[in-house]
Amino acid sequence: MAAREASTAADKLFSLSGLFAVYKPKGRTSAGVLGLLKDRLLAEAGVQTNKNKRKQVLKIGHGGTLDSAAEGVLVVGIGKGTKMLGTMLSGSKKYTAIGMLGKATDTLDATGKVTEEKPYDQVTRGDLENVLQKFTGHIMQVPPLYSALKKNGERLSTLMKRGEAVEAKPARPVRVYSLSLQQFQPPLFTLDVECGGGFYVRSLVSDIGKELCTCATMQELTRTKQGPFTLEEHALHEDRWTIDEIARSLEHCTSLLPREPSHKKLKTEHPGETAVICEDK
């Protein structure tokens, strides 16, 4: 009976196909969350591993890296859904970010070493709101050195941590659909951002500080929406990472997606697994 139930669970797991969303907590990498999700599902289905090579291949991937210090929506593709992840990379995303005036770090967020401190008492709410207008629309942005962007096949962040000299990538075009100030309690300020693919909120906060003749670093970041998937409605928390819950989520999320999704071929990092890296955040 147990073997039959395991076989049924495995059949259901490998029949799953589409896009859904999970909640990525602070302190975990996007790849780590994806790996944990995959292991949970395989264990529930009773699929054994053999020398780290699974007898059956479960195709699963995510639609855009979220920094380990950040939290929020992580879109996941399973089965044929992995071919739809390209639309998540280029699509719009929404974030809530908390920045701190007066301090700059090497990573542009709270995880890095402080590299500069400047006074910020002169900055008013009006100053901050006026500056935001310069960062709305089609703009040019220099990506941070600590990022998922690669040089000779290695992430810039990995090279930086090894102490190797890394040149800043040239500024590139990005798009900000909307940008608003939600709170201002110096030195902290809270922003709501809607942007396109390849945008770094860390760089935005840093650039805002420079425009205000001080410096700034990002303290917290939450991705509240990616494509049609929202944090409140669609992101499954870890206690709901089961085959049945994901099947229900896939069914619910089908109506959110276009009927003819882009079938862009994505790079595979592991055999049988589509892992997608996006230079966001």
194: which residues sit within 8 A by CB, 6+ positions away?
92, 93, 94, 95, 176, 177, 178, 179, 225
Rounded to a whole number of angstroms, the distance between the first and last alpha carbons of the chain is 48
CB 180 within 8 A of CB 192: yes
Q: Is 67 a catalytic residue?
A: yes
Q: What one-character-per-residue DSSP string does the chain give?
A: -HHHHHHHHHHHHHH--EEEEEEEPTTS-HHHHHHHHHHHHHHHTT--EETTEESS---EEEBS---TT-EEEEEEEEGGGGGGTHHHHHS-EEEEEEEEETEEETTSBTTS-EEEE---TT--HHHHHHHHGGGSEEEEEPPPSSSS-EETTEEHHHHHHTT---PPPPPEEEEEEEEEEEEEETTEEEEEEEE-TT--HHHHHHHHHHHTTS-EEEEEEEEEEETTEETTTTEE-GGG-SHHHHHHHHHHHGGGS-SS--------SBTTB--B-----
Among 11, 39, 67, 244, the one annotated catalytic: 67
Residues with a known catalytic role: 67
